[in-house]
Structures are given as structure tokens and as C-alpha cells.
Amino acid sequence: MREQQLYLQAGYKNFEEYCQRELYAWGEYRRINQLLGAKKVIDAVGELGGHIKNERQARPLLRLVKQPDKLKQAVAIALEENPSPGESDFAAAANIVVPQLPRKKQSIQEPMVPKIQEPVVPQKAIVTVSQQSHPRYGEEGTIKADAPNHWQQIVTFADGERLLINNADLDAASVPFPRERTYPAEYTEAIAALKEQHQQELERLQQELRIGLQSEATARAEEQVSEQISSLQNLYRQQKEQNIQLQLRLDDMESLRQLEIENQQLRQRIQDLERAVEERPSQQWGNTMIQQATKALNKQVKLALEKTIDLRSLAQEPPKENAQECLRLMGMALKNLASAMNNTQALEAAAIILGSEPTPSAIAYRAEQLQMLPQAVSDIRAVLAKPGCSWQEFWDVAQEYEVIKQDYWAELTNQETELIIATSNTRMRRSPQLPATPTS
């Protein structure tokens, strides 16, 4: 646009005017000029231009763009100091290659205003003091001398006193008091140009501020929108979890309701059966399915017992391994079977195996005794296993199981019985009056 002067086709006189009018959103001519300068720096530095990330980093190198060798040298120095250099790194490197002398402060002197040839006010102008706080309020005076400055006048009163009074304190409409300082034409044009430039700078700053505020507002709005989206997603997730929990609770409640319905149906069925039992005599239930099944089962059990084993022969010839335990368990099983079936033969078989009278009470008492047998054998063996076991220790334990003395004696091994006999013989030699052993 600038090099081919395409802005002329759009009706602009120069490139600066085109930037001011069309590129105000990008910083107008001043910003465009900075970007063009950064482009010059990146083109001049060649392959090292990839390390310059933005215009601010290229700005301190712009003064070396006409010296490409020194420009590359400055970029290389900056990269040696910092692999990812910033604006300050490039500025320091450029100052090393080509030191920059400090600027001399130019004393700004106020231009000499040529002496005004004509008087500010006509001679012998009559004025009146209009400020009430002034001592000469309401008195008239005459201006005979030139004003020392543009905001005061020398007034001579009737009594001959001359006072320096501000123009604002005087009331003389016919006197053209100068309200502002006057300058020559060349200074007026310069001041107008400075004002115009200042106004354009203010407009540019306002535009940049407006763009910055819009960008900040947009970023803030996007951040708020993202926060709202995140909060809505979290809320949706929480609601979904709550819905799942509610659905589970509803399923549990439905299951409980079904169970309650089934319980009510069962209660109703039980009540119906109870009423049926009350209304119908018990002797009419003789042919029910339960009693018929019981009879069939008892008959089958009896046939099985008669065909399989002879209990009396089993009692006479016990098993070879762990016979007492097998007979004891079988006797108690037959006792339970006789009680459940009311079978006399099973009761007799249990009495033979257990070694008691064939009565339910005698068999029950014998079964209770034999239930203590495993614990008795375990306690006696624990006493015998102690080093230096004495007869008194054995006797304290044996007295607790005196009723099943023959039973636990039969369960002990030969070594254990010999140990008991040995402790008994030792006891007899020491105290002949103590109780005898079970073998005696």
C-alpha cells in the first residue's frame, strides 16, 4: 500500500492520512510505522529474525537497520546472554555494539515577543473599580501609562495616586483590555500546529484506550462465560449423580413394596390356614400329604436299615479303626432316629451300642455322658503331657469325668495308661490311703 502508493486511488493525499483514517483500529500511523520498522529489522537480520517475537523487541534494534553487520552482531550477543531474549536484552546488545550517547537537554526558551508598537489601550482611558473588596471600589481613574503585562493596568486616580489593578477588577466596556497573550503570526501558526498534533495524539490515545477496554471487556466476558459453563457442567454432573441415587432409592423402595405385598399375601394365607385348622377337626387330617409322606419315609428307612446292616452284630463286632468313636456317634444317631420315628427297634439298637437300658431316658442320659468324652480325653492328655506329671494333677482332672471313667480309659493309648499306672504306684508307695486307679 505504501510502496505502490495505492492509497492515492482511495483519495488520500499521503500514506499518513490513509493510516489515520482507515487503520485507526490498529493504532493509526504511529503504530503502523512501528510495525513497518520491525519488519525492516527482521528482514535485515536474516535467519536470526525468528528470535525476534514482537515489535517491542525489534524497537531498540531499529537504529542499526542501516548497518546489517552490526545488527546481526547485536542479535547474536543477545542470544548468547539469553536463549530467549527480551526487549531489554536486545537493547543492551545494541548498546554494546553501537553505544548510544545520552541526549542533550535542549533549553526551551520562551520566544522573544517583539515590542508592541501601539499601546494596549488608548491614552487617558477612564475606568472604574468594580471589585467590592478593592479599597478604591466605585472610584474612577485614568490609564495614562502602558500596561506592564497583559492582565493588569496602571490606574491614576483623582488624588494623584497610581495603583496597579487587575483587569478583572476594572469595569470599562469601552476599553479593549487584552485578555490573552498575543504572538506574531509565525508563532500562532506553530502553536496551532502543535494544538492539532496534540489533539490527534489525544484522539489516538482515546482510540487505543477504547480498543484496550473493549479487549479487556471481551476477555473478561469470555472468562465469565467459561466459568459459568464450568459451573453448569459441575451442576449437571451433580444432578446426574443425584438422579442416579434417587433412581436407586426408588428401586429399593419398589423392592420393599413388593416384599410388603408378598408378606401381606403370606399373612393372609397363614390366617386362612389357621381358620381352616380351627374349623376342621384334627382327626380329619390323617390322610394329608405330610403324614402320608412321613409314613412313606419311615417305611423306606426301615427297609433300608433291615437290608443294609444288622445293628446288633455291629455292636458285638465294632469297627477296627476308632471303634468307640464310631459306635458312640452311631448310637446317638440311632437315639435321634428312634425319637424322630418312634421306632422300638432303633431304640433297642441304640441301647445296645451305647450300653444302656432300652428306654428313652436312659439312652438320653448315656448320650449326654458320651458327649463329654472328647473333652475328657483332651484334658487328661494335656495333663499327662506336662513334664513331671503327678498323680494329684491327674486325679483333679479325672474326678470331673468320673461317670465316664471306663469310656475315657478305653480311649487312652498304652503309653498313657502305663504313665497313669506308674504315677499311681509312686503315689501308693508314698501314701497308701489315697484313692486307687481306675484299673483297681
Would you state the pLDDT for residue 261?
Answer: 93
Rounded distance, CA 5 to CA 9, Å? Answer: 8
Rounded distance, CA 336 to CA 330, Å? Answer: 10
Is 117 part of any domain? Answer: no
Q: Which class for 42: exposed (0-12), middle (13-18), buried (19 or more C-beta within 10 A)?
A: middle
Please report, in tens digits, the pLDDT of each residue of the chain (440 residues total): 888 888 888 888 888 888 887 886 777 778 888 888 888 889 888 888 888 888 888 888 888 888 888 888 888 898 888 888 888 888 888 888 888 766 555 544 544 544 444 444 445 678 888 887 788 888 888 888 877 777 888 888 888 888 888 888 887 664 555 555 566 677 777 888 888 888 888 988 988 888 988 888 888 898 889 889 988 999 999 999 999 999 999 999 999 999 999 989 998 989 888 887 777 655 455 555 555 655 665 565 555 555 444 544 554 555 555 656 676 677 767 767 666 666 677 777 777 777 778 788 877 777 777 777 788 888 888 888 888 777 888 888 888 788 778 777 877 888 888 888 887 777 766 654 444 444 43
Rounded distance, CA 209 to CA 360, Å? Answer: 112
> 89 and 16 share a domain?
yes
Which of 394, 369, 400 minimizes the C-alpha distance to 380? 394
Local structure of residue 284 (DSSP, 8 states): G
> 262 and 304 share a domain?
no
> 93 and 11 share a domain?
yes
Who's near 85: CB < 8 A, 6+ residues apart?
A: 51, 57, 78, 79, 93
> 12 and 91 share a domain?
yes
Rounded distance, CA 393 to CA 221, Å? Answer: 94
Rounded distance, CA 52 to CA 55, Å? Answer: 8
> 222 and 271 share a domain?
yes
> 55 and 14 share a domain?
yes
Is 325 part of any domain? Answer: yes
Q: Where are the alpha helices (DSSP H) in 280-288?
A: none
Is 149 part of any domain? Answer: yes
> 45 and 87 share a domain?
yes
DSSP state letters, 68-95: HHHHHHHHHHHHHH-SS--HHHHHHHHH
Q: Cα 170–171–174 angle (5° rounding)?
A: 120
What is the torsional sign of CA 428, 430, 433, 434? negative
Is 166 part of any domain? Answer: yes
CATH at residue 149: 2.30.30.140
> 254 and 218 share a domain?
yes
Who's near 72: CB < 8 A, 6+ residues apart?
A: 45, 46, 48
Return the number of other C-beta atoms located less than 10 Å from residue 438's C-beta: 16
Which of 119, 121, 133 minimizes the C-alpha distance to 173? 121
Is 191 part of any domain? Answer: no
Cell of 121: 489601550
Rounded distance, CA 384 to CA 393, Å? Answer: 9
Q: Which class for 230: exposed (0-12), middle (13-18), buried (19 or more C-beta within 10 A)?
A: exposed
Is 381 part of any domain? Answer: yes
Classify strands 170-171 and 152-157 as parallel, antiparallel or unpaired: unpaired
Instruction: For residue 293, give the amino acid letter.
Output: A
Is 177 part of any domain? Answer: no
Domain's final residue, options 278, 304, 332: 278
> 383 and 429 share a domain?
yes
> 147 and 222 share a domain?
no
End-to-end, the C-alpha distance of the chain in Å comes to 136
Q: Are the CB atoms for 56 and 75 separated by under 8 Å? A: no
Rounded distance, CA 282 to CA 122, Å? Answer: 152
Instruction: For residue 222, give the amino acid letter.
Output: E
Q: Are the CB atoms for 120 and 147 separated by under 8 Å? A: yes
Q: Cα 198–199–205 angle (5° rounding)?
A: 90
Looking up cell 493596568 gives: 153
pLDDT digits (tens, 9 = 90+) for 60-81: 888 888 888 888 888 889 888 8
Is 190 part of any domain? Answer: no
Q: How many domains does the chain have?
A: 5
Rounded distance, CA 335 to CA 351, Å? Answer: 8
Rounded distance, CA 134 to CA 141, Å? Answer: 14
> 10 and 93 share a domain?
yes
Owning domain of residue 222: 213-278
Q: Which class for 90: exposed (0-12), middle (13-18), buried (19 or more C-beta within 10 A)?
A: buried
Measured N-to-C along each axis, helices 344-354 and 360-371 cross at an angle, to the nearest 10 degrees, of: 40
Who's near 39: CB < 8 A, 6+ residues apart?
A: none
Instruction: For residue 430, give the amino acid letter.
Output: R
3-class DSSP assignment, residue 232: helix
pLDDT digits (tens, 9 = 90+) for 383-398: 888 887 778 888 888 8
> 272 and 330 share a domain?
no
Q: What radius of gyration, in Å, describes the C-alpha atoms of the chain?
A: 64
